[in-house]
Amino acid sequence: MGHDAGTVHTLRLVNDSAYRARLVADPKAVLCEESGHHPVQDFAVEAVEQRDDTLVILLPARPEDGEDFGERLTEVSQRVYDVLFSSGVGGFLIPDDGLKWVLRDIRSSWAARAASEE
């Protein structure tokens, strides 16, 4: 079965401990390097590893300036998303729409690069 570049990358993260360690150490650098896309926008990437003995909590982002604390708290604390994995699930959490197209552009660039290397 032929895998596309994204699938190959994800399987490498599972199977290749050196590759995984490199990504975990600097996820933004590895993603930009692999995809060939270096966004001008200022942003960070954090790797969140799933482990057999670990519960990870990602708290909702703080209210923005001018937002009502109580209203936001009520809304977001009722939007709870439980992800229970067995062999694992990968992907992204994108806290804000401001980074939506940054991620999509990284992916487009990656796919285009992979296609041109075939």
55 to 114, contacts with another protein by CB under 8 A? Answer: 55-71, 73-100, 102-103
11: contact with another protein by CB under 8 A = yes
User: Tokens 């401001």 correspond to what residue?
Assistant: 98
Residue closer to another protein (CB basis): 67 or 118: 67
Q: How far, in Å, CA of 98 to CA of 113, rounded?
A: 24
DSSP state of 103: H
**Rounded CA gap, 65 and 57, in Å?**
24
Minimum separation from the CB atom of position 116 to another protein (A): 22
Judged by CB, which is closer to another protein: 7, or 115?
Answer: 7
| Minimum distance from residue 11 beta carbon to another protein (Å) | 6
